[in-house]
């Protein structure tokens, strides 16, 4: 004669154990993929932040542009950059020839992101044209 309590205390079958392990493996796979994606996003954000800092440092190198404009390019720490400027015609400059001339300065920074994907950043601002030195001024 079997005891009713004894018949309810049986262990898990092999099939139930395999299903439980499969669900656990799938859950861990999704979790690892999410964590890996987050790590890649952090690396991409860091590279983007460095590109912005490079662009800001290029802009801080000059507070004004010569009449010839600003055309320069180079490479720095895995980033390729180029700076181009062109005079910007405004309503004030058309009405008043003595108004300061502004130049639109465009900076383009290129780099390789995760998995070799090409990334770029475009910054644009205005800088005044440097006035020529006065004829009778100090030497």
- Residue 89: pLDDT band with limits 50, 70, 90: confident
Radius of gyration of the chain (CA): 32
Average pLDDT rounded to a whole number, residues 15-42: 84
Identify which of 43-57, 88-102, 114-128 has the greatest average pLDDT. 43-57
Q: Which long-range contacts (CB under 8 A, 24 or more apart) does 128-137 make?
A: 128/64, 128/65, 128/100, 128/101, 128/102, 128/103, 129/64, 129/65, 129/66, 129/67, 129/87, 129/100, 129/101, 129/102, 129/103, 130/64, 130/65, 130/66, 130/67, 132/67
Q: What sections of the chain are H helices per DSSP?
A: 4-8, 14-60, 91-95
- Residue 79: pLDDT band with limits 50, 70, 90: very high
**Full-model pTM:** 0.65
Q: What share of the chain is helix, strand, coil (3-state, %, to 5)?
A: 45, 30, 30
Tell me how long the chain is: 139
């Amino acid at each position: 004669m079997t005891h009713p309590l004894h018949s309810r205390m049986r262990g898990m079958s092999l099939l139930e154990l395999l299903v439980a392990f499969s669900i656990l493996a799938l859950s861990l796979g999704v979790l690892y993929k999410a964590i890996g994606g987050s790590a890649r996003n952090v690396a991409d954000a860091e590279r983007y932040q460095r590109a912005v800092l490079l662009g800001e440092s290029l802009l801080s190198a000059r507070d004004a542009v010569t009449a010839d404009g600003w055309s320069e390019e180079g490479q720095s720490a895995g980033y390729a950059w180029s700076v181009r400027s062109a005079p910007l015609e405004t309503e004030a400059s058309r009405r008043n020839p003595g108004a300061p001339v502004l130049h639109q300065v465009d900076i383009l920074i290129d780099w390789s992101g995760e998995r070799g994907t090409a990334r770029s950043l475009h910054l644009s601002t205005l800088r005044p044209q440097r006035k020529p030195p006065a004829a009778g001024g100090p030497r």
